[in-house]
Structure 1
């Protein structure tokens, strides 16, 4: 463990392996993004892509890169990192590797908000707003039901699973009420897709993460490590446990809802990325930064694979992450069962 001195007699403890994993995953995610931007019917080399992003490309290259391909890749990077951070926060909050907005009902709540907009005949902007509002309202309801002198992880999981089941039924009913064209658009969104994503989808999420990520790291980073050792120890060290948990839950719900607004409820990235990051770093605690970098790389790689590995039949990225994440969930349940934790 290394100590980095900051101005004002402050310091930060850094695990070299965690730093190396986070840096490596971030570089791999950016490299995958550059390769993805250069791939397609109009192929470009990585040097041409970087030159075009820097403003030195031809008009054709500038249009293809900056207007068509780069917004999709940036959206994938942001959505992957937002979902991974939300998943890491949820897993730390409930102290369970199965903690994820997919399982706890928050993704289904965002889908309900979006489907209400679809049935009402709203446009894409209203759909995104409905997804955020639905996710936030679901978070408020689950928090209120799970609160009993404190926020206990097991209660949150059980209530979240129940809410997910109820909202799944509501979403099925809303789909039957939509017109055929609107229902087809809603099904594509519910699958999780990056098709046609532009700067209007990426920039709101970027602005939100510019606020939420520093707030989470500054307010909850050290406190999360201590809380995982036990509430009594954390309170003895002066940490306001319930306040930290409320900030964690609010940030995780907002991140998951905003990610769903940008690309739909992409499945299992929030579940898988924090666990992959934790196994690579070998460190205890939530591994927030490493999880973000891992999630960004996973979603960019999955989007490239969904576009290129199945011939002319382009898959929504949520199909591929759902298949891979479902397999990972089965494996994780088997591991937890053998360990006697479930």
Structure 2
């Protein structure tokens, strides 16, 4: 065979028996956008979606209050059942599991954006201070409302504004000498530490009832979630997810460095600002529903990357991984000490500790980061 037949458009054909990178498939979208994925990514995402469906089914069809599966199906698909059955299934179980899936997806996507922008696996909103800033904004609203964590839109607006204010502060601190990944992480940690002190101060200045209510909210919980809290996130998440998918290619190029991305035609400052705004909006919307949930935005993109064997944090797989993690953690929070329920933020925090210990043990065995 001649050398010319061994290459196609300048790319050499892999030798027999070698395992080159999996070819990416491309789906053309309107307005010139394209969605790229590999067969492994599609398969892994499908398996994760099946896992989400299984957790959804177990959560809706089982619980402390026993309802026959036939009665649950009657409530869901025929609108039948007693008033109590409808309240338990439609008013409690269904919004809770939907909130867990949506919040987990939002946090997984937010973490993927921040880790791509910072080129650092620690670049998640809970590590670099944006979650703390969103918590500050929400706490102001909760305490101003007398400790009611269910003020819905007010808490959501305060959460998003607090996160945006934190993002502006971090960006200002890092912009003078260039917004690099390490500077972004360090500035975020510093701002987050200061805001954590502000949050503690706000709690000490509130009356006892308001402080107790607000403190319980900061643990992160889905115990009292209802449809008025779920619907805004359900409407916002698809819009934010489509915008994040549109940034997929520029973000992958920026992971190779700002200079390289700029040489390939990426408007680095614009993509960075848009990515930061999207990540903060996703984290703020999630916190407005469930309170601050630790570990999830940090681990979901990394787990998705390992599952799909992707060189970066895959956006779609990170969303589904986050949804499955939080839905599973909330199921554990409901059932471990039933009829008592644990705030899901405590469960994800414990899982986060186990995850980090696993990474450390893997690094020790392999002699390199996991």
Inter-partner Cα distance in structure 2 for 1:311 and 1:162: 39
Partner of residue 137, structure 1: 165
Listed as ranges, the gaps of 5+ residues in structure 2 are 1-22
Structure 1 residues 35 and 174 mapped into 2: Cα distance closer, same or farther (>3 Å)? same
Structure 1 residues 181 and 7 mapped into 2: Cα distance closer, same or farther (>3 Å)? closer
- 1:315 paired with 2:342, answer yes
Partner of residue 17, structure 1: 40
Inter-partner Cα distance in structure 1 for 2:335 and 2:145: 33
* Contact 1:35-1:46 at 8 Å conserved across structures: no
Inter-partner Cα distance in structure 1 for 2:204 and 2:257: 47
Partner of residue 285, structure 1: 312
* Contact 1:103-1:161 at 8 Å conserved across structures: yes
Give the superposition deviation at 1:36. Answer: 0.5
Structure 1 residues 10 and 251 mapped into 2: Cα distance closer, same or farther (>3 Å)? closer
Inter-partner Cα distance in structure 2 for 1:48 and 1:222: 47
Structure 1 residues 12 and 162 mapped into 2: Cα distance closer, same or farther (>3 Å)? closer
Higher percent of residues as helix: 1
After superposition, where does 1:85-96 map in structure 2 within 5 Å? 85-96=109-120
Partner of residue 202, structure 2: 174
Give the superposition deviation at 1:63. Answer: 3.0
Inter-partner Cα distance in structure 2 for 1:268 and 1:327: 11
Partner of residue 155, structure 1: 183
Give the aligned length.
341
CA RMSD across the alignment = 2.4
SS at match of 2:89: helix
Pick one of 48, 65, 68 that aligns with 1:42.
Answer: 65
Structure 1 residues 12 and 314 mapped into 2: Cα distance closer, same or farther (>3 Å)? closer
Instruction: Tell which has more relative contact order, 1 or 2 (C-alpha 8 A, sep 6+).
Output: 1
* Contact 2:26-2:34 at 8 Å conserved across structures: yes
Listed as ranges, the gaps of 5+ residues in structure 1 are none
- 1:77 paired with 2:96, answer no
Pick one of 63, 67, 89 that aligns with 1:65.
Answer: 89
Single out whichever of 231-240 and 328-337 deviates more from structure 2.
328-337
Inter-partner Cα distance in structure 1 for 2:204 and 2:221: 21
SS at match of 1:54: helix
Inter-partner Cα distance in structure 2 for 1:16 and 1:174: 50
Larger radius of gyration: 2
- 1:210 paired with 2:234, answer no
Structure 1 residues 10 and 308 mapped into 2: Cα distance closer, same or farther (>3 Å)? closer
Partner of residue 6, structure 1: 28
SS at match of 2:265: coil
Inter-partner Cα distance in structure 2 for 1:117 and 1:14: 42
Give the superposition deviation at 1:133. Answer: 1.7
Normalised to the residue count of structure 2, the TM-score between the two structures is 0.85
* Contact 1:94-1:154 at 8 Å conserved across structures: yes
Give the superposition deviation at 1:148. Answer: 2.8
Give the superposition deviation at 1:339. Answer: 5.8
Pick one of 274, 287, 290 that aligns with 1:260.
Answer: 287
Inter-partner Cα distance in structure 1 for 2:60 and 2:119: 38
* Contact 1:34-1:49 at 8 Å conserved across structures: no
Partner of residue 122, structure 2: 98
Single out whichever of 4-13 and 29-38 deviates more from structure 2.
4-13
